[in-house]
Amino acid sequence: MKLYNSLTRQKDEFIPHEPGKVSMYTCGPTVYHFAHIGNLRSYIMEDVLERYLRYAGYDVTRVMNITDVGHLSGDSDDGEDKMLKGAKREKKSVLEIAKFYTDAFFADCKELNIKTPDVVQPATGCIDEFIHAIEVLLKKGYAYEAGGNIYFDTSKLKQYYVFNDFEEEDLAVGVREGVEADGNKRNKADFVLWFTKSKFDDQELKWESPFGLGYPGWHIECSCISMKYLGEYLDIHCGGIDNAFPHHTNEIAQSEAYIGHEWCKYWFHVHHLNTNSGKMSKSKGEFLTVSLLKDKGYDPLAYRFFCLQSHYRKGLVFSYENLDNAAVAYKKLIARIAALAAEAKKTTVDAAKLAEIKAPFAAAMDNDLNTSLAVTALYDVLKTDASAATKWQAVADLDSVLQLDLIAKAEAQAVPVKEETGLDEATTAWVEERIAARAAAKKAKNYAEADAIRAEILAAGIEITDTKDGVKYKKI
Ligand code: AMP
Ligand code: ZN
């Protein structure tokens, strides 16, 4: 499989550190608010990557953090703490906010068929690990104390800006409008590993540490949580493209300084869901959530389908018109699969043909997870001359990755036909009700009405016969 790697800026052949196994880390949500559907685009595409790696036969272990402390509203260690901001807004404690929005996040994931990672670790559960890593970084000379905080010293690295999009001169850290420069920093790109009360007196969650009572910076959590569960060699690190700098750049800096060798080989970044006025965010424009889409009558999986129709490395423009188009196409796709249902039960699966019609799907996914081509490959499966059972099986297999509930929805839509009567469910219910009414009429000696009901049933193309075992009926 080839994957675009933000580190090498090209499509690289994917070769995991340990053959057959993949360690995968995903930056989890900051749980101070609901996830918007832009955040969820990233998690959908990461989910597809994980599921495809499993489909391709890898044994995947995936870890995700939950940011419940330390993420400031400015990515460069400035502004308010996002969690504290959420708690103030809702007049709740930080832990209450974290619990509520973590649950809400996983409820959204469930609606979108996003699998929960093997390990989900809130940052507040790993404070000892952060402290230990910071102590090592201090000991190795990669960190320093200033003004009560501990900073990572980026000048100690041979190369800091790994994702080449960022030129040093463009990064005027601390001189953005309205943001005061942090005078404690030795270099403008340095970042905080540990804050103490010297910076934010109103921080609700604080821990004792050798550096003073305080709390961790945002970046350290992902390095430590990843290494705790996945060791010193990480295969794939995922996140939205806005995480590439400074978050992932800082993760690499501190992780590699800590372990002394290369840490993560492949960096997978999902590009943004945009609106017509730019990147979707929680503070700008309509706050688009899964619940809002549901309230408006959309099936959340129509949104998943919408995301799959485009490549993860391209910006995707959200509009209700675009979503409507995807929703219509999704419904039609299900109807086409449903039309195969009856025939699929009568035919058999041809294993060789199955492998043949599934191959284009794998080819699309092997080429940097080209989901839009993979969706085309799914339509092509329906067009082949394979038996209905073979097509049905191919759809089921492809859907183990795409996760559009295609089989369950097609089955629910397919009209079940009773073998003996040749009638579908709705007609069966109707005829049984009429037969009961006829029996009641007969019992009341109302033979005229009983005969009228028999005629009514006959007019609907159904023949009824009185037998010693009761009334039998079948399509004429
Ligand atoms: P947050 O909860 O803000 O930490 O973000 C969670 C994830 O969503 C991160 O991987 C972000 O990079 C990603 N993200 C944020 N905004 C967008 C967007 N508009 N489109 C796609 N992904 C996004
Ligand atoms: Zn992270």
Query: What tens digit of pLDDT does each residue of 204-244 get?
Result: 789 999 999 999 998 999 999 999 999 999 999 999 999 99
Q: Judge whether residue 300 has pLDDT over 60.
A: yes
DSSP letters along 122-136, please?
EGGGGHHHHHHHHHH
Quickly state the pLDDT bin for 82 (edges 50, 70, 90): confident
Q: Judge whether residue 415 has pLDDT over 70.
A: no
**pTM reported for the whole predicted model:** 0.86
State the Cα–Cα distance between residues 409 and 396, nearest whole angstrom.
Answer: 11
Ligand 1 nearest atom to the CA of residue 26, by list position:
10
Quickly state the pLDDT bin for 175 (edges 50, 70, 90): very low
Mutate to test the pocket of ligand 1, among 42, 238, 303 (most ligand atoms within 8 A of CB): 42
CB count within 10 Å of CB 94 equals 21
Find the 230 Cα to ligand 2 centroid distance in Å.
14
279 CB under 6 A from ligand 1?
yes
Percentage of the chain exceeding pLDDT 90: 72
Q: Judge whether residue 337 has pLDDT over 50.
A: yes
Residue nearest to atom 7 of ligand 1 (CA): 39
Ligand 1 nearest atom to the CA of residue 28, by list position:
6
Q: What pLDDT, on the 0 to 100 scale, is given for residue 77?
A: 60
- Residue 425 backbone class (left: φ over 0; alpha: ψ -120 to 50; beta: rest): alpha
Which ligand is closest to the CA of 67, given by its number? 1
Q: What pLDDT, on the 0 to 100 scale, is given for residue 5?
A: 97
> By 3-state DSSP, what share of the chain in percent is helix, strand and coil, each rounded to 5?
45, 20, 35
Quickly state the pLDDT bin for 34 (edges 50, 70, 90): very high
346 vs 419, which has greater pLDDT?
Answer: 346
Q: What pLDDT, on the 0 to 100 scale, is given for residue 145?
A: 96
Percentage of the chain exceeding pLDDT 70: 92
State the Cα–Cα distance between residues 93 and 205, nearest whole angstrom.
Answer: 10
387 CB under 6 A from ligand 1?
no
Mutate to test the pocket of ligand 1, among 112, 242, 281 (most ligand atoms within 8 A of CB): 242
Give the pLDDT mean for 386-412: 97
Q: What pLDDT, on the 0 to 100 scale, is given for residue 393?
A: 98
State the Cα–Cα distance between residues 114 and 40, nearest whole angstrom.
Answer: 9
Q: Judge whether residue 171 has pLDDT over 60.
A: no
Ligand 1 nearest atom to the CA of residue 31, by list position:
2
Ligand 1 nearest atom to the CA of residue 71, by list position:
4
Whether omega for the bond prior to residue 210 falls within 30 degrees of 0, making it cis, is no
State the Cα–Cα distance between residues 246 and 44, nearest whole angstrom.
Answer: 23
Q: Judge whether residue 198 has pLDDT over 70.
A: no
- DSSP annotation of 162 reads -
Q: What pLDDT, on the 0 to 100 scale, is given for residue 108?
A: 98
16 CB under 6 A from ligand 1?
no
* pLDDT, the chain, mean: 91
Which ligand is closest to the CA of 254, given by its number? 2
Ligand 1 nearest atom to the CA of residue 240, by list position:
12
Give the pLDDT mean for 361-381: 98
Which ligand is closest to the CA of 269, given by its number? 1
Give the pLDDT mean for 418-434: 81
State the Cα–Cα distance between residues 140 and 317, nearest whole angstrom.
Answer: 46
42 CB under 6 A from ligand 1?
yes
State the Cα–Cα distance between residues 378 and 242, nearest whole angstrom.
Answer: 31
214 CB under 6 A from ligand 1?
no
State the Cα–Cα distance between residues 86 and 197, nearest whole angstrom.
Answer: 20
Q: Judge whether residue 174 has pLDDT over 50.
A: no
- DSSP annotation of 248 reads I
State the Cα–Cα distance between residues 368 and 345, nearest whole angstrom.
Answer: 35
| CB 125 within 8 Å of CB 69 | no
